[in-house]
Structure 1
Amino acid sequence: MSSLFPHLFEPITLGAKTIRNRIVSSGHDTVLDDHGMIGDDLVAYHEERARGGCGLIVLQVSGVHETARYTNHVLMATDDSSVPGYRAVAEAVHRHGATIFAQLFHPGREVMDGERGMAPRAVAPSDEPQERFSVVPETLSTDMVKDIIAGYASAAKRITAADIDGVEIVASHGYLPIQFFNPRINSRTDEYGGSPANRRRFLAEVVAGVRAAVGPDIVVGLRISGEEKTEDGLVAGEILDLIAALDQMECEGVACLDYFSITAGDSSTLQGAVHIVPSMQVEPGYAASLSEQVKKITDKPVMVAGRINQPHEAEAAIAEGRTDMAVMTRAMICDPAIAAKSQRDAVDEIRACIGCNQACIGHFQMGVPISCIQYPESGREVTFLPRPRVRTSRKVLVIGGGPAGLKAAAVSAEQGDDVVLCERESHLGGAVLLAQKLPYRTEFGGAATNLIAEAMRAGVDLRTSTEVTQTMLEQLRADHVIVATGARQRMPHLEIADDAWVIGARAYLEREPNLPGGRVLVTDWKGDWIGLGIALRLAEAGTPVTLATAANFAGAAIQQYTRTLLVSQALRTGRIDFLNDARLVGVDSDTGYLQSTLCEIVHEVEGITATIVSGAPRALRPDLDFGTASVRVIGDALAPRTVEEAVFEGLQAATDLAGVA
């Protein structure tokens, strides 16, 4: 038992099942399916979290009806061909002492993908349009409603027959069951619409049908948004009334529901969707206020999701009575062993999630398997784990102490090589340390902190303020060299008048100069964090800004939920003018000249006193003779991109070295 987190590691009983601790990996789409089935990749992914000490693992959504295909990679539980996959993942998770549930799902109108790129077709209680995916659904007939309800029960029976311990009915984030309950969406006039009792009938019949199908010994839970946090969404009072009604339901003397899983948000609008996977702009543990309200109206266990990244946050929420279990899904994507580390009070070893959303939900929204920018082994367990070991230790030199070099050095040392890392600056971390200077991105610096700690624990010889020279190379006599020297700032080709005040974005963040008073033009080549972040930083300090981006819109390269919060904050300042599809070509004393990327038009931004240019970087590589050593170039030194590619290539380079004799 942990001395630091006694509540977090106290067992808890849900229905007929006792869970070993209060840490939950909630249902989240991984895109690790095998043509809609559970295959080796998904089994390995969840097994790693079970091995890492997680108490309860909830599988990603399983469609209960053919109309439930909200993406082209959703798991389906509509026929017996799915059973072997559920059995395989159950066996893998049980092997390590964890409990596993599966989610029962129908999206209703919340459908992202159509067949082969066509517009999505969806069904819903009524034909009320969905804003975020621009979907106008087909109204369900009464017979089809009953068919879908039966689908929940049959899917639950099929899944639990494969040794899955429980099922969780998904009524969160504006999906089908809650669409029926929302009077702003459901305009039906049959038995499933109109009065509150009729509007909750769909969900009540689903709950009763599932319990009857699985019997008293299988756990049945409900996931629901405690508040939808969007216009026309359900508010806390409405949700609490629904939960109170469902809480009283019994099936043949047994409670129909064993627990409630509380989250926040709604999928139908950008405003509500940010709460599905809240990014680093959102306060950690913020949704515990919602679960606290639910606990006041039910004696059943309650769990909550919403930016619980650290064990102390989970411990506090449980100790203060705001929840009974803590959902730490992204925390375990970033560090699958966070539970085991917490239980032995090894908090300094935890690789903390920074809430960037880039490779987890960001990958899902691109339709590719999820991972983590700090821990690219996530989602690639079959490829990279367990870590290989070298037969004979070799001397490995890593040049550069940014994310790519730190990851390569740490993994190489873990595999058994003798690793020296040289960084010419006085500090490690590279450009990550600049990123954390931007508004609402302070946590990003944690990526450097985590990677440095991993390299230190692995025994890497870390040398700062050390530039690698030809003489040093000859002295070290490394067998293998990994070049991770990063990139440098590059200014685009511009016509600049002598009296124009112009500075590169990187230089601005490094030097933090005093700018002339007045409007600042910030130009952005990519639509990433840099231009938008600098503009927001200036605007919040009271400076009027014009943000001009060559992308289609500001923040175009940022994950959707993160961008929504950043742009909404920028709009609230009232000090930022946006200009899209425009590249900077010249600057004089008070005017910036921008060429449209779409046509021959040139935009003139007048009345500016300074220009900050975020341009494309240039790879930086040392001019050295490495002799007989094998050489691998990675990260921005290979081609300037993001932290994600840098860390992945560090892992890849080190893993490849393990196979070199």
Structure 2
Amino acid sequence: MSSLFPKLFSPIDLGPLRLRNRIVSSGHDTMLADDGTIGADLIAYHERRAAGGAGLIVLQVSGVHPTARYTSHVLMATDPDAADGYSAIADAVHKHSCGIVAQLFHPGREVMDGEQGMAPQAVAPSDRPQERFHVVPQELSTDVIDEIVEGYGQSAELICQAGVDGVEVVASHGYLPIQFINPAVNSRTDKYGGSPENRLRFLLDAIASARRGAGENKVVGLRISGDELTSNGLVDSEILEVIKATENQGMVDYISVTGGDSSTLQGAQHIVPSMQYEPAYLGQLSEQIKKFTDRPVMVAGRINQPHEAEKAIVDGQTDLCIMTRAMICDPEIAGKAERDAVEEIRACIGCNQACIGHFQQGVGISCIQYPESGRELTFLPRPKVREASRLLVVGGGPAGMKAAAVAAEAGAQVTLLEREKALGGQVLLAEKLPHRSEFGGAATNLTAEAQRAGVDIRTGTEFSASHLGELRPDHVIFATGSTDRDPDFEIVDSPLVLTSRQFLTDAPELPPGGVLIADWKGDWAGMGLAIMLARKRQVTLATAANFAGAGIQQYTRTALMPELIRAKVDFVNDARLAGVDEDTVYLQSTLCDEVIEVEGIATTIVNHAPHAVVPDIDLNGIPSVRIGDCKAPRTVEEAVYEGLTAANEFILTTGHRIPVGA
């Protein structure tokens, strides 16, 4: 039992299911399913979190009807052959004394993709168009509604008979059950529309069907947004009426509270809130719901650390805490917290880049800090080396630190040289941007991992040939990063032109007048600098991308854009920087030869493509590899991943490998 987090690590009952603690991994699509079924990758992913100490795993959504395919890869509980997968994942999770529940799902009009590249086709209570995916759904007939309701029960029966502990009816984020309840979406006049009682009918029928299918000795939960946090969405007082109705029905064992709505960008950002939002910011919603129910309540919303979870429980906001991304970043966070080893926790920084960002790109989810997540069968368990080989890592940014930590953990003798006085590389610049301070946690976490693994870290040390004689490395990994590229545009007179790195490293006092930020990629730096500077002066954000923030995960960009809009930032898209003079910036359209002149500019800040730093030292035949930006300038995600893969390759090809368990 933890002495620091006694509430978090006290057991709790969800109906017939006793959990060992209050830490929950909520349902989230991993893109790890095998053609819509549960396979080895998905099992390994969830077993890792169960083994790491989670109290409850909630499996990603399972469709309850053929019309429930919101993506081409969604799990479907309508196929009898799917039972084997549910059985296998239940066995894997139960092996570690962890509970597992599966989500029952129908998206209604919230459909992301169609068949063979065609536009999505969806069904809903009415044919009200959906704004975010631009879907006009077909109105459901009562016959199909009956089929869907029955599907909840049939799916629950299949899942629970396979050995899963229960099911969770998903009525959150504007999906089908809540679409019936929202009068802005449901314009029906039959028994499923009109009065509040009629609009509640579908949800209550779905819960009753799930309960019949699951059986009395299994768990039935409800997932719901405590407030949809969007225009024309249901607000907290309306959701409380829904909770009262489910309470009167008496068939739900717990309530899982989240926020937001999938149908608009405004609401969707709360599905996976980025670092702009405070930790546990949805706790007030679950606290309201707790007043109307005696059932256990769990809440999501950026709960990334055990002390945040403990406080939410102690303050009466919730009974359990959803820490999904925290466990993507550190699958062992529960076990570490239980033994009070909080200094070992790799904290999620809420960047959204490799978790929901990967899902929205159609690839398996992972974590920029811990790329082993979602790749458990490739990289875990870590091999060991019997005879320690010597590895030299040059560069102490994310790539170098990850490589050093992984190799040292495997038993290699590792020395890391960093030219600067502090480790972290460009992460130390990124954390200076507005709403980006948590990003520095990536450097803090990687530094701590390297230190715990026993890496000989030498900062303020420029790599030279003398180190080869001193350290006698068997292998060298270069992670020397990138630097600013020479200007490839015309500069006339003496305008103030800075790169984004120069500005963030040591910004001079800017002269009066407008600022133009020339952003070639459409990433965080451009938007962050615009927010920072628009507080004091007029800013133009010109990007060579299709729109500002094109390279940022959608929910993160959505949270940033309102600040730029309210600050009256001017946007110029599809335009590259061509020239600068004393008070005018010249842009050229990337779509044609048209030149765009922006006048009244006193300062130009260039966020352009960097240049790889390639070491020029004779290694005398010592094998070497380049990783991260010195291989090709990209993002922290690629840098850390290449640090992992380079170290893994070194472990597997150098020295004598000890089989795991030997």
- Normalising by the smaller structure, the TM-score range is over 0.9
How far the C-alpha of 1:79 sits from its partner, in A, is: 1.4
Which runs of 5 or more residues in structure 1 are unaligned? 250-254
State the distance in 2 between where 1:465 and 1:228 align.
50
Query: Which residue matches 2:660?
Result: none
State the distance in 1 between where 2:279 and 2:301 align.
7
AA partner of residue 213 (structure 1): G
Query: Which residue matches 2:566?
Result: 572
Query: Which residue matches 1:473?
Result: 468
Q: Is the 8 A contact 1:410 1:455 kept in 2?
A: yes
Query: Which residue matches 1:609?
Result: 602
Query: Which residue matches 2:405?
Result: 410
State the distance in 2 between where 1:340 and 1:112 align.
36
How far the C-alpha of 1:441 sits from its partner, in A, is: 0.5
Identity of aligned residues (%): 66
Query: Which residue matches 2:658?
Result: none
Query: Which residue matches 1:424?
Result: 419
Query: Which residue matches 1:532?
Result: 527
Q: How does 1:426-465 map to 2 (within 5 A)?
A: 426-465=421-460
Q: Is the 8 A contact 1:419 1:461 kept in 2?
A: yes
2:248 paired with 1:259: no
How far the C-alpha of 1:568 sits from its partner, in A, is: 1.2
Query: Which residue matches 2:97?
Result: 97
How far the C-alpha of 1:571 sits from its partner, in A, is: 1.0
Q: 1:642 aligns with which of 635, 638, 644?
A: 635
State the distance in 1 between where 2:403 and 2:182 align.
51
State the distance in 2 between where 1:633 and 1:310 align.
34
Query: Which residue matches 1:341?
Result: 336
Q: How does 1:161-176 map to 2 (within 5 A)?
A: 161-176=161-176
Query: Which residue matches 1:514?
Result: 509
What CA deviation, in whole Å up to 9, does each residue of 1:583-631 have, x standing for no partner?
0010000000000001111000001111000110011011111123211
State the distance in 2 between where 1:325 and 1:627 align.
58
How far the C-alpha of 1:501 sits from its partner, in A, is: 1.1
How far the C-alpha of 1:556 sits from its partner, in A, is: 0.2
Structure 1 residue matching 2:642: 3-state secondary structure:
helix
Structure 2 residue matching 1:659: 3-state secondary structure:
helix
Structure 1 residue matching 2:653: 3-state secondary structure:
coil
How far the C-alpha of 1:474 sits from its partner, in A, is: 2.0
AA partner of residue 597 (structure 1): T
What CA deviation, in whole Å up to 9, does each residue of 1:239-261 have, x standing for no partner?
00011011111xxxxx4100100
AA partner of residue 382 (structure 2): R
What CA deviation, in whole Å up to 9, does each residue of 1:190-233 have, x standing for no partner?
11111101000000001111111221110000000000011110
AA partner of residue 499 (structure 2): G
Q: 2:284 aligns with which of 289, 295, 299?
A: 289
What CA deviation, in whole Å up to 9, does each residue of 1:394-444 have, x standing for no partner?
010000000000000000000110000000111100000000000110100
AA partner of residue 402 (structure 2): K
Structure 1 residue matching 2:227: 3-state secondary structure:
coil
State the distance in 2 between where 1:132 and 1:55 align.
35
Which runs of 5 or more residues in structure 2 are unaligned? 655-662
2:269 paired with 1:274: yes
How far the C-alpha of 1:489 sits from its partner, in A, is: 1.0
State the distance in 1 between where 2:212 and 2:309 align.
34
State the distance in 1 between where 2:75 and 2:562 align.
34
Task: Please give the TM-score of this superposition, normalised by the length of structure 1.
Answer: 0.98
Q: How does 1:134-213 map to 2 (within 5 A)?
A: 134-213=134-213
Query: Which residue matches 1:42?
Result: 42
Q: Is the 8 A contact 1:491 1:504 kept in 2?
A: no
Structure 2 residue matching 1:211: 3-state secondary structure:
helix
Q: Is the 8 A contact 2:167 2:214 kept in 1?
A: no
Query: Which residue matches 2:657?
Result: none
Structure 1 residue matching 2:637: 3-state secondary structure:
helix
Query: Which residue matches 2:370?
Result: 375
Q: 2:327 aligns with which of 325, 328, 332?
A: 332
How far the C-alpha of 1:492 sits from its partner, in A, is: 3.6
Task: Please give the TM-score of this superposition, normalised by the length of structure 2.
Answer: 0.98
Q: How does 1:550-629 map to 2 (within 5 A)?
A: 550-574=544-568, 576-629=569-622
Q: Is the 8 A contact 2:155 2:213 kept in 1?
A: no
Q: How does 1:104-119 map to 2 (within 5 A)?
A: 104-119=104-119
How far the C-alpha of 1:477 sits from its partner, in A, is: 1.1
State the distance in 2 between where 1:569 and 1:117 align.
35
Structure 2 residue matching 1:303: 3-state secondary structure:
strand
State the distance in 2 between where 1:437 and 1:8 align.
33
How far the C-alpha of 1:392 sits from its partner, in A, is: 1.2
- Number of positions where the alignment pairs a residue of Structure 1 with one of Structure 2: 654
Q: Is the 8 A contact 2:29 2:61 kept in 1?
A: yes
AA partner of residue 548 (structure 1): A
Structure 2 residue matching 1:169: 3-state secondary structure:
strand
